[in-house]
Amino acid sequence: MPSRGRHQSTSKECKVVMKKIEAMDGVVGVIIGMSYGGKSLGQGGSTGSVRVQREVAGGIKAVMQSAKGLQEIYVRTDAGMEELISQAIRDL
């Protein structure tokens, strides 16, 4: 499933990480959300770093450090796979 969302541009490092997430078992797709320029994940937040915010029905909300700021992403998952995929994303 191609990445979709309001803003479809992101840095090369983020695209590589999104491809890794999309390749995980139980992931239906990754949807790119809003970008927030000039913001940071904080200490240790290099480009391509992902921080899981919360698990929601049908997926996972997360933010990713891009070259220009933060990029919201939504990882759509198969039912009941949210917790396993959330942990796998944290381990990336």
C-alpha–C-alpha distance, residues 82 and 92, integer Å: 16
Q: What pTM value is reported for the model?
A: 0.83
Q: Say if 6 falls within a structural domain.
A: no
Q: Collapse the DSSP code of 84 into the 3-class scheme (helix H, G, I; strand E, B; otherwise coil) and give the result.
A: helix
Confidence of residue 66 (pLDDT cuts 50, 70, 90): confident
Name the nearest CA neighbour of 30 among 57, 10, 1.
1
Q: Say if 4 falls within a structural domain.
A: no
Q: Say if 31 falls within a structural domain.
A: yes
Number of compact structural domains in the chain: 1
Q: Say if 3 falls within a structural domain.
A: no
pLDDT of the residue at 61: 97
pLDDT of the residue at 4: 53
Domain extent for 38: 12-90
pLDDT of the residue at 2: 52
